[in-house]
Amino acid sequence: MHKFKRAFLAAAAAVSLVATTGVTSVVQAGEWPTEKECKAGAAKDGDNIIKGWCVAVNRRGGNCLACHQAMVNPWPEGFPTGGNIAPPLVAMAARYPNRDDLRAHIWDPTEKNPMTSMPPFGKHKLISEEDIDLLVDWLLSI
Ligand code: HEC
């Protein structure tokens, strides 16, 4: 789809959400499952964004929140907040206009920063290529 059209559709969706719920985020408010709910299959019928979130919160998967906070709203009730040894995952679409750059950072962050404590998830096959794509879908939504 043409970029402009996509932006327009996203804006239209946001406007209709605001109109119906008063919420300004395009993300489905209140639908972020906890790790436990993810394991119980919360993402099974969900879209890629929810699936990507489930990869991020899985301590045996991405475990991204061990180090990062993530700007999802509202935060799932009773769910531990993210770590603060890494920059917060926020405004990703604005900061990564090129999807491949974001994917590359998750695949192997040592390319950009050899001293980073972030594991090279793709290079060391810590998570699957499919899960990395789902993570990128989720990240670009927050
Ligand atoms: C062990 C800690 C740790 C884990 C786990 C971790 N990160 Fe990171 N991450 C870091 C640190 C430290 C940085 C800052 C240095 C750098 O850029 O690599 C970083 C940087 C980043 C960046 C680039 C900085 C930015 O805000 O643009 C992204 C994107 C990112 N991480 C995503 C993820 C995702 C997605 C996961 C889960 C799959 C993850 N990280 C897991 C420590 C971690």
Q: Which is more confidently placed, 50 or 74? A: 50
Q: Among 9-18, 91-100, 126-135, which stretch is predicted with the lowest mean pLDDT?
A: 9-18
For position 30, what pLDDT does the model report?
Answer: 54
Nearest residue by C-alpha to atom 23 in ligand 1:
105
How many domains, in total, are found in the chain?
A: 2
What domain range is 16 assigned to?
Answer: 1-27
**What integer is the mean pLDDT of 49-77?**
93
Residue 88 pLDDT: 95
Mark whether 49 and 114 lie in a shared domain. yes
Q: What is the pTM of this model?
A: 0.82
From 68, 89, 96, 137, mutation site for ligand 1 pocket: most ligand atoms within 8 A of C-beta = 68
Same domain, residue pair 44 and 16: no
Q: Tell which wins on pLDDT, 36 or 77.
A: 36
Say if residue 90 is in the same domain as residue 20: no
Query: In the predicted model, is pLDDT for residue 29 greater than 80?
Result: no
- Give pLDDT, residue 25: 37
Is the Cβ–Cβ distance between 90 and 71 less than 8 Å? yes
DSSP 21: H
> For residues 57 and 65, what is the distance between their CA atoms, to the nearest angstrom?
6
Judge whether 89 and 142 are in contact, CB under 8 Å: yes
pLDDT over threshold 60, residue 136? yes
Digit-coded pLDDT (tens) for 67-108: 999 988 888 888 888 999 999 999 999 999 999 999 999 999
Residue among 64, 94, 72 nearest 28 (CA): 72
| Ligand 1 residue neighbourhood (C-beta within 6 Å) | 56, 62-64, 66-68, 85-87, 89, 95, 102, 105-106, 109, 113, 116-118, 121, 135, 139
Same domain, 57 and 21: no
Q: What is the Cα–Cα distance from 70 to 48, expressed in whole angstroms?
A: 17
- Judge if 23 and 60 occupy the same domain: no
20 and 88 share one domain: no
Same domain assignment for residues 18 and 37: no
Could you tell me which residues come within 8 angstroms of residue 57 by beta carbon, excluding any fewer than 6 positions away?
A: 34, 35, 38, 64, 65, 79
CA distances, 107 to each of 25, 45, 77, 110, 133 (Å): 28, 26, 30, 9, 10
Residue 100 burial (10 A CB sphere; 0-12, 13-18, 19+): exposed
- Tell me, yes or no, whether 122 and 82 share the same domain: yes
Q: Is there a single domain that holds both residue 38 and residue 104? A: yes
60 and 8 share one domain? no
